[in-house]
A and B are shown apart, each in its own frame.
Chain A
Amino acid sequence: MSLFDLDFGSGFRHGVHPPDLKDLTSGEAIRRMPFPDMIVLPLKQHAGAPARPLVKKGDRVQRGDRVGEAQGFISSPIHASAAGTVRDIRRWPHPDGSMQKAVILDVDPHDPQVPRPRIVPEWSELEAGQVAGAVRDAGVVGLGGAAFPTHVKLSPPEDAEIDTIIANGAECEPYLTGDHRTMVEHPERVHFGLRVMMHALDVERAVIGVEENKPDAIEALRRTIPDDLDISVVSLRAKYPQGAEKMMIKSILGREVPSGGLPLEVGVVVQNVGSISTIARVFESGYPLVERIVTITGPGVRRPSNLTMPVGTRIADAIEFCGGLTEDAERVVFGGPMMGNAQADLDTPILKGTTGIVVLTEATAATGPQYPCIRCGRCLQACPVFLDPADLGQLARAGQFEEMTELDLDDCMLCGSCAYVCPSNIPLTQLIAAGKNQVRRLRRLAQETEDGEATDEGESADGSPEKDAA
């Protein structure tokens, strides 16, 4: 609502401008962290169905061996990220706050940690379905946070007409710099991954979107564009949540993904640059996704770093390697400060989708006292999908979940912009997230009831009017 909020340029409307705070690690080259003593591999690390364990207690595994198998199309296999012995398969604290079944490995300290030699798939000779299959077998998921299985995006329905691939290098969350360093240090890997994706999806054009606050990444990417590919690099305004899929498509192509729809409905596939460079790795070496780049940062960490580490490294080990916590460290946040969630237990592991660990101090974590909503409307001006977070928050408090869906609750992506701007410090995003969980639960219950009734009807008589109506 300020005078300076007028947006005359292209791009998405609304959004917020948190300080980017990336200086802590934006100049730190990616380093490799030594293998920890133990690895925790939750079977649920991706959107969709959890994997099914393939190993049992006492089994010996090599780095890259499959320990969990995908269950269904929207799922992903899990691979051992270090050689060692399966200590146990049991429930373990998960970053989302629940307990999830996990394969726990004792890492063999004397193993050279070299994966078994593999046949490297020759991408140019593979058909679309085979590329997606190889990506699926390598356990690649979106590394930007949502961890959506990548092979699903590479297997669009027959009738989809995709004309553009967008590589998402916005990295709009404050503090995080993993994608930034990937683009600066390995731009050719991003291009190679895009080449494979363009081949698989039969698309001629790719656009890499990078926020303007990473000029060195833009420069490195532009310098290395292969001559034979139509790849362009677009500098985007630094505005949160620029990296949200729908916002990014709007900013780059001006297309608006329908409410409740997918990017491919407007002819676009969006993939995070970290995932794209992981696809490149798969077709360079044949190795599955067993490690990723994680930014360990924030004022509460002694030596903020960008680290390559095995998936399943415990937060405690990662922070230990970065010199430990400072005296005034207060809160450990999984992911960025806008969308991440605070951790109660430092034994939780890094997942495939973990972009960073941000440790806040007493001063930076403080939110101040909560006041009543004064209907200032700042959350409405911040919401990138034009919802009314104030009303949604109030309905969530009152437990009126049905009414929340009428206010387009499903369009909320929990970006955190509303809570960020709220002058009364109302935890709007948490309230809305709780509402979303409740709505999901109620829908599942309704579905189960309906399924039960449908079975009853099927047994008694066919052609009942309700059934026809449905």
Chain B
Amino acid sequence: MWTVVATLVPVVAAAVWFFGVAALLVTGAATFGAVATEWAFDGRDAVSDGSGVITGVLLGLTLPAGIPLWMAALGGAFGMGFGKLIFGGLGQNVFNPALLGRAFLQASFPTAITTWPAVEAGRATFYQSNLALPFLQAPEMDAATAATPLGLMKFEGETTELWRLLLGNTGGSLGETAGLVILICGGYLALRNYLDWRIPVSIFATVAALSGVLHLIDPAAYPGPLFMIFSGGLILGAVYMATDMVTSPVTAAGAWLFGIGIGVITVLVRLWGGLPEGIMYAILFMNALVPFLDRVTLPAPFGAGAGGAAGGGSG
């Protein structure tokens, strides 16, 4: 799993490029929260497999650069503790721990997690709000803030140019803006068989098909498929979160259904829900369906259907 960690390094580097050294601090804090919790309860051996680091870094990438570090660490600790350890550790959990951590933060600190600094920051930037004291200070944003492309679309009816989405030159969470980098790293992981390519492919295809049809019906109200795919956390979620092996189906057919479900829910939440982004809840919801998907898609054993047809050897 350290290979997966290694492929996250370019993604974090891209976040540092766009948001300054604060990006490193936030992912570091989230990783610290996750790993320290795992170490405390399951010991050093449990940490050495690298899965706790993946959880922490992925959580960090879903957070805005200006979030107080203590919140990031708390999210990591919550995700690890209630998302994974409580189920029995590696391999036993139902929900993606990083996303559970983020869901907890979104419920607890809705303002902090939706305040995105503008991307014009220098490389050495960190934000005063990063250092807010736990529970004492309201996280005041000291830099210029910017809405995310999805927020602009939802609340202002504005779309962002595709080239800016591709390069990541937009407001957003740390891992939202580096779509191209994530796709390259994810492609490498798929080739090396570290993730099931069916899941991201089916998510992208479903989102593209669904939003494409809606865009054709009413281009003014519904954005096109490319905008849908390259905005928000869809790429990060599809490549790194939905493909978490523990919380995704084991069968090929299950993986297709899982991806399609995530795609449909994401589009529904984005276009008609109260939130601008829906990938997180889409993945968490589909996580809960994985045991069911596995059961209904388990293939029949070899020769199970052959009994009547081939019996008697008349061929």
Contact = CB atoms under 8 A, between A and B. Distances in A.
A387 B250 CA distance: 12
A264 B310 CA distance: 10
Interface in A376-413: 376-378, 380-381, 384-388, 390, 408, 411
Interface stretch (B99-107, B169-177, B300-308): B300-308
Interface string A193-221: 00000000000000000000000000000
Contacts of B198: 1
B314 interface: yes
Contacts of A259: 301-304, 306-307
A241 B196 CA distance: 24
Contacts of A160: 313
B70 interface: no
B196 A386 contact: no
Nearest to A267: B313
Contact of A1 (B91, B252, B313): B252
Contact of B301 (A265, A267, A376, A386): A386
A253 B301 CA distance: 19
B185 interface: no
Contact of A163 (B92, B197, B248, B313): B313
17 contacts: A3-B190, A163-B313, A255-B310, A257-B306, A258-B310, A258-B311, A260-B303, A265-B313, A266-B315, A267-B313, A371-B90, A372-B91, A373-B91, A375-B91, A377-B255, A381-B252, A385-B303
Contacts of A2: 190-191, 193, 197
Given A2-B193, A377-B250, A386-B299, A372 B310 contact: no
A436 interface: no
Interface residues of A, number: 41
Given A256-B303, A377-B250, A377-B251, A163 B315 contact: yes
A162 interface: yes
Contact of B302 (A246, A375, A378, A380): A246
Interface of A: 1-3, 159-163, 246, 250, 253, 255-261, 264-268, 371-378, 380-381, 384-388, 390, 408, 411
A454 B306 CA distance: 35
Given A259-B301, A261-B303, A374-B90, A267 B315 contact: yes
A377 B299 CA distance: 13
Contact of B313 (A3, A264, A375): A264
A372 B90 contact: yes
Contacts of B301: 259, 385-387, 408, 411
B302 A411 contact: yes
Nearest to A372: B91
Interface in B84-112: 89-92
A377 B245 contact: yes
Interface in B196-225: 196-198
Interface string B233-250: 000000000000110111
B315 A375 contact: no
Nearest to A247: B302
Given A375-B250, A387-B301, A390-B250, A266 B310 contact: yes
A258 B313 contact: no
Given A3-B191, A266-B310, A372-B91, A255 B315 contact: yes
